[in-house]
Chains A and B, each alone.
Chain A
């Protein structure tokens, strides 16, 4: 694994994306709510009842009105879809196109979704505000905890002791992998334990009450049925939270014991990185991607060295663009550390036990690559001239120095002047170059840039406020990397991704990061508990368990489902795949054009459409796994990752299930359990 390089293939949500994400949630949840309202409406019509429910029931009437609005908007949306079609956008994968709705389609879908959500959620909200009492929920939650304790559920957590005692028999690692290996073990052990417990607790509690008829003793009291659901969820949630906290504390001791110096250096910390906003390439033919070296995993793109056989070809660069930099960097006196982990792809053996020599250039964000090259030329000319002056100035003292100590002092002075000169020139020309950086792959490497250089860059961006030709503000900093011209290096390729180079802003203690990681697991188990409890309001225990397990497992292969739904998979959908298997055609071979092939592909298209709809209700479980951050030694950002990418999606996912549970528990015939 590449250390201290954060490999996150899925981009996390950003604050700027929040309104769009909310709109998307309203649309998705709204469509499901509309379908629910449509079904209720149809059943009322079939039973010859009013579409707006009982006369005088304002909530029923509101639901009816909202349902009508939602269905109407959905119908308009479908008509617009038919008339306008969608906007087809090409993606980096030439096989895949993104299909976007037009503004009007979005508008109607959002209005319809909002109306449907209002229609289904207002009765819940009203119930929560009027009839439901938190005191009763608290009592039921307490009862749930007591039941679970009496049922010795907490003993399940003792299984973790097996992991602590025996995992070392199975887990082997090299020293610097220690934290990574431990975190992997702890994550899977804790997650499985928590998920099994939460699924079992959530699935069987209400059905068991119904089967054992103990629910009668509760529902005959002045207790709202939804209070039972909330009580169970919160009670078990509390129990699981306490269990998780205890387990995590013990696991922290397990992970932290005897951390080797190599592991501590690599990942027993929480680096706070400032990543570039984007990575672009120059000279590779396409701005967004570099050279392809034929690796299956296309996470990284590569640049190659300047070949003497292709002198006219432009030099290739990887360019990280930092739109902004924190203002506090201006006040820093110590050199600013940058860390990077790059991948090397060799075309020749090169020099034995030598990495690839690269050049890193820190430049003003407004400069284009040719400008950077020109500025560097000027920088070097001026540097040589002024270094000559310095050398001349010190030539006499050098000759006069008698002792080694005096000579060393003079050399130190010269070096200091060289450094000052470099900073001054960097400020003057807007570029700063670090040459001869030996890059080795799978290794975190670090270099420092004088604080003055970064300060000048920030101040230049603030004062000059440079802009691009289209009027958008130019970024503050560009970090360019290119391969050196020595004969061994220029034959190799160097691979990079956006998060492979960062400005190291600070380092937090490991435990803080670990605590944030625990929140991810907590979200995971709450999600399963929520699904299980919601399902158990209508289904029997075992079916609820199966549902929860199904959603959980489907959540892990959501990427695969997405690829299938988007038609990105080699071999096509199920019909095409079956044909290939039957006719023993390899994946890459095209199908023979025939009416049957055409029919099968149409069937696959229909299948993919429905799969796309199903995809909306499958949670993305992978987002709750924050192990990559912790085991690579990167701080988990509180806002963008923990809140926006974990807690908010959890709430967004559980809310519709909560509303569903409200209706299912209230519609259930408790006296007649099946």
Chain B
């Protein structure tokens, strides 16, 4: 029998126990019913920030308060390893640092940039560069996943709940790394080949499958299989042939062999399955390279697609990331310059760069796709005829006819994307819309004496009523429209995409590409013919598309093309030009300018031998002896450009540039051609050639509203770049 003290103690303990159990149960209920829904609503849980990584969390918690200290030490050690080119150790440390502070965006950006740029540039072979670019991208993609926000809707209590936005900067940088380090790098051709190989199932690019033995047991390329490979991957094969000097099937297969272990979307092939040609499994999504964002828009590539077709290239990957980067942005302003865009700091994130520039990247990536296809020679449905490799099979093999290889559709899509961008951001105005707004703004401008390019201070549409209010708003809209269009070079890009998608442009571009190819093959006679056929058509195009011809890069490109043409012309017509101009030069009083300067200068006549001192041993002492040695070998001499200062035909073309030029052209066309029977006034080219003249720019450089087709700035930029003004 327990004493009363013992009974009291027992009761007391039972009461305590009851209270503990009660409070504990209450706290559990409170957590489940109040705290968790609230945390979900406010997006306070770590899952809301992005993917959660258990090991990183364990390390962070085990470090207690010394996480910052550990991160600093690791950072310092990583940079020391980088200094000593110890990349393996460097990468391990970099990954450790980022694990310690996964929601601090800057280290992800800095160290991934470090890997993809600074480390990659220290490597010499493209395959090594490619590896570290891929590592940088993987690191940044990992960081993006940690900070991608709430992608899984099942975590949210309702559709109206807060949604933690992703980080546009990281997503954009992923795309930008692809663009800079693969698509536009110094070794872009090799890098793009490696990128293509990353996307091909290893059993489909297995070099061992492409070898066979000939009658004497010698290892040779299995041509039927190789032909199939060429059919499946024409862009890769053509790039290897034309850009990387793989002039035989053997060299192509050797390239595949050398780069067999390229970072890939596919797992290491199982030899047994590979022998039976069973497709290789994809790696887990996070380990695939090229790494792609989740498919949040239908126009983005599906990362789970087994094998992409060749219309998926590096710019497609970049574009996917650019599109994904648009997700956390606020919607654009419905009336730019007049209405502030909606911005909710909880739902939206802004990039560091100006948002209106940021939004152009997907369209820009699309334009690059078209540009790259053109540079690689893919224009139309004629494909590429593989030169000479399959003559043993008695076949003429051509590949790449499908529209996915053509640049026209890519440019067309780019045009559509630019139009969509313009419409979405309200900077796209049709000619009619613009004219209507100009008319409407006229009242405000004349009343307050404000020029179209001026933003009035102290005046706002809200201050006015009726017609003046509408006029003031129209002026503001036009001003901001002009500002945004100029800052993203909208007219240039739209004009370029619009022109490049046209069949006539593609036709001439193809001719230029053929000419370059023929020049590389030293088939100069044909080159001249192609240039002479293409250049007039090119001028027609430039006259027809005003926005196109005003693009500075295009003007430079046109001038470079003209230089190439002149070079070929001089080489081809040397037998006529040389005596003619030598004679002219002899007849011409030196420096008088009486006769035109010689268009052709022969290759420099160099005294190829120079006196060269060398050290020789004479007995026990060194002696200096002078020897004649070659300054330049034959290849060097061939490289010396004979053109120094010579004008080409395109430089003489001047246009009468004035507002309302098109109307004036139509008027003049009607005036001059209307009387002809049958009338020719509906021929487009006739209208385009109106208000065009020929002026010798060296004698009369300034001609008022007459502007040269090729401005001086473009010419001098090219000449400086090619070092022609020495």
Residue positions of A touching B, CB distance < 8 A: 1-2, 7, 166, 169-175, 177, 180-181, 184, 262, 296-297, 299, 308, 311-312, 314, 343-344, 346, 349, 352-353, 355-356, 368, 370-371, 373-374, 404-405, 440-443, 469, 487
A355 to B258, CA, bound (A): 14
Contact for A311 among B89, B261, B610, B620, CB less than 8 A? B610
A356 to B125, CA, bound (A): 10
A169 to B286, CA, bound (A): 14
Contact for B243 among A171, A181, A352, A356, CB less than 8 A? A352
Q: When the two chains form their complex, are residues B612 and A174 in contact, meaning their CB atoms are under 8 A apart? A: no
Q: When the two chains form their complex, are residues A172 and B91 in contact, meaning their CB atoms are under 8 A apart? A: yes
Q: When the two chains form their complex, are residues B83 and A374 in contact, meaning their CB atoms are under 8 A apart? A: no
Query: Which residues on A sit within 8 Å (CB–CB) of B186?
Result: 349, 352
Q: When the two chains form their complex, are residues B88 and A173 in contact, meaning their CB atoms are under 8 A apart? A: yes
Q: When the two chains form their complex, are residues A352 and B189 in contact, meaning their CB atoms are under 8 A apart? A: yes
Interface flags for B91-117 (1: CB within 8 Å of A; 0: not) read 110011001000000000000000000
Contact for A442 among B123, B135, B244, B620, CB less than 8 A? B123
Query: Which residues on B sit within 8 Å (CB–CB) of A371?
Result: 617
Q: Most chain-B CB neighbours within 10 Å: which of A180, A352, A405?
A: A352
Q: B636: CB under 8 A from chain A?
A: yes
Query: Which residues on B sit within 8 Å (CB–CB) of A353?
Result: 125-126, 187, 190, 244
Q: Which among B2-10, B566-574, B627-635 touches the partner chain?
A: B627-635
A404 to chain B: closest residue by CB:
B216
Contact for A166 among B55, B88, B617, CB less than 8 A? B55
A299 to B125, CA, bound (A): 22
Q: B87: CB under 8 A from chain A?
A: yes
Q: When the two chains form their complex, are residues B617 and A346 in contact, meaning their CB atoms are under 8 A apart? A: no
Query: Which residues on B sit within 8 Å (CB–CB) of A296?
Result: 83
Distance (Å) between the CB of B287 and the closest chain A CB? 10
A349 to chain B: closest residue by CB:
B186
A342 to chain B: closest residue by CB:
B124
Q: B616: CB under 8 A from chain A?
A: yes
Query: Which residues on A sit within 8 Å (CB–CB) of B216?
Result: 404-405
Q: When the two chains form their complex, are residues B189 and A184 in contact, meaning their CB atoms are under 8 A apart? A: no
Query: Which residues on A sit within 8 Å (CB–CB) of B55?
Result: 166, 169-170
The 8 closest A-B pairs by CB, nearest first: A177-B88, A370-B615, A441-B124, A353-B190, A344-B124, A349-B186, A1-B86, A297-B83
A262 to chain B: closest residue by CB:
B261
Q: B340: CB under 8 A from chain A?
A: no
B629 to chain A: closest residue by CB:
A311
A173 to chain B: closest residue by CB:
B88
B615 to chain A: closest residue by CB:
A370
- Interface size class for chain B? 35 or more
A1 to B91, CA, bound (A): 11
* Known contacts A1-B88, A184-B88; is-contact A170 B95 (Cβ 8 Å): yes
Q: B75: CB under 8 A from chain A?
A: no
A and B contact pairs by CB, cutoff 8 A, 6 listed = A1-B88, A7-B84, A184-B92, A344-B124, A352-B190, A442-B123
Q: When the two chains form their complex, are residues B88 and A180 in contact, meaning their CB atoms are under 8 A apart? A: yes
Q: When the two chains form their complex, are residues B87 and A355 in contact, meaning their CB atoms are under 8 A apart? A: no
Query: Which residues on A sit within 8 Å (CB–CB) of B636?
Result: 308, 487
Distance (Å) between the CB of B566 and the closest chain A CB? 24
* Known contacts A262-B261, A311-B629, A352-B244; is-contact A346 B91 (Cβ 8 Å): no
Q: When the two chains form their complex, are residues B617 and A440 in contact, meaning their CB atoms are under 8 A apart? A: no
Query: Which residues on A sit within 8 Å (CB–CB) of B631?
Result: 308, 311
Query: Which residues on B sit within 8 Å (CB–CB) of A173?
Result: 88
Q: When the two chains form their complex, are residues B617 and A299 in contact, meaning their CB atoms are under 8 A apart? A: no
A353 to B191, CA, bound (A): 9
Distance (Å) between the CB of B94 and the closest chain A CB? 10
Distance (Å) between the CB of B191 and the closest chain A CB? 9
For the residues of B in contact with A, the DSSP-based class is: mixed
A175 to chain B: closest residue by CB:
B261
A346 to B631, CA, bound (A): 23
A346 to B187, CA, bound (A): 13
B190 to chain A: closest residue by CB:
A353
A48 to B613, CA, bound (A): 83
Distance (Å) between the CB of B237 and the closest chain A CB? 15
Q: B302: CB under 8 A from chain A?
A: no
Distance (Å) between the CB of B82 and the closest chain A CB? 9
Q: Which of B237-291 contact A (CB under 8 A)?
A: 243-244, 261
Q: B131: CB under 8 A from chain A?
A: yes
Query: Which residues on B sit within 8 Å (CB–CB) of A172?
Result: 91-92, 95, 135
Contact for B96 among A166, A170, A312, A469, CB less than 8 A? A170
Query: Which residues on A sit within 8 Å (CB–CB) of B89?
Result: 1, 184
Given contacts A166-B55, A308-B632, 16 further A-B contacts (CB under 8 A): A170-B55, A172-B95, A173-B88, A184-B92, A262-B261, A311-B612, A312-B612, A352-B187, A355-B124, A356-B124, A368-B617, A370-B614, A370-B617, A441-B122, A441-B124, A442-B85
Distance (Å) between the CB of B196 and the closest chain A CB? 14
A171 to chain B: closest residue by CB:
B92
Query: Which residues on A sit within 8 Å (CB–CB) of B610?
Result: 311
Contact for A297 among B85, B99, B128, CB less than 8 A? B85
Contact for A487 among B96, B244, B613, B635, CB less than 8 A? B635
* Known contacts A170-B55, A311-B629, A352-B189; is-contact A442 B88 (Cβ 8 Å): no
B639 to chain A: closest residue by CB:
A487
Query: Which residues on A sit within 8 Å (CB–CB) of B128?
Result: 442
Distance (Å) between the CB of A197 and the closest chain B CB? 20
A352 to B616, CA, bound (A): 38
Contact for B124 among A175, A311, A346, A368, CB less than 8 A? A346
Query: Which residues on B sit within 8 Å (CB–CB) of A170?
Result: 55, 92, 95-96, 99
Query: Which residues on B sit within 8 Å (CB–CB) of A312?
Result: 612-613
A90 to B615, CA, bound (A): 31
A356 to chain B: closest residue by CB:
B124
B194 to chain A: closest residue by CB:
A353
Q: B158: CB under 8 A from chain A?
A: no
Distance (Å) between the CB of B132 and the closest chain A CB? 9
Q: B462: CB under 8 A from chain A?
A: no
A343 to chain B: closest residue by CB:
B85
Q: Which of B30-84 contact A (CB under 8 A)?
A: 55, 83-84
A181 to B617, CA, bound (A): 52
Query: Which residues on B sit within 8 Å (CB–CB) of A443?
Result: 125
A299 to chain B: closest residue by CB:
B84
Query: Which residues on B sit within 8 Å (CB–CB) of A180?
Result: 88
Query: Which residues on A sit within 8 Å (CB–CB) of B122?
Result: 441
Distance (Å) between the CB of B214 and the closest chain A CB? 10
Query: Which residues on B sit within 8 Å (CB–CB) of A487?
Result: 635-636
Distance (Å) between the CB of A508 and the closest chain B CB? 23
Q: B622: CB under 8 A from chain A?
A: yes
* Known contacts A1-B87, A308-B631, A352-B243; is-contact A440 B612 (Cβ 8 Å): no
Distance (Å) between the CB of A490 and the closest chain B CB? 11
A299 to B636, CA, bound (A): 36
A490 to B610, CA, bound (A): 20
A29 to B85, CA, bound (A): 38
Distance (Å) between the CB of A349 and the closest chain B CB? 5
Query: Which residues on B sit within 8 Å (CB–CB) of A355?
Result: 124-125
A312 to chain B: closest residue by CB:
B613
A346 to chain B: closest residue by CB:
B124
Distance (Å) between the CB of A312 and the closest chain B CB? 6
* Known contacts A172-B95, A311-B612, A370-B622; is-contact A440 B124 (Cβ 8 Å): yes
Distance (Å) between the CB of B285 and the closest chain A CB? 16
A439 to chain B: closest residue by CB:
B124
A353 to B188, CA, bound (A): 10
Query: Which residues on A sit within 8 Å (CB–CB) of B635?
Result: 487
Query: Which residues on B sit within 8 Å (CB–CB) of A1?
Result: 85-89
Query: Which residues on A sit within 8 Å (CB–CB) of B84?
Result: 7, 297, 299
A371 to B631, CA, bound (A): 23
Q: When the two chains form their complex, are residues A2 and B261 in contact, meaning their CB atoms are under 8 A apart? A: no
Distance (Å) between the CB of A327 and the closest chain B CB? 30
Distance (Å) between the CB of A74 and the closest chain B CB? 40
Q: When the two chains form their complex, are residues B616 and A374 in contact, meaning their CB atoms are under 8 A apart? A: yes
Distance (Å) between the CB of B295 and the closest chain A CB? 26
A356 to B617, CA, bound (A): 31
Distance (Å) between the CB of A472 and the closest chain B CB? 16
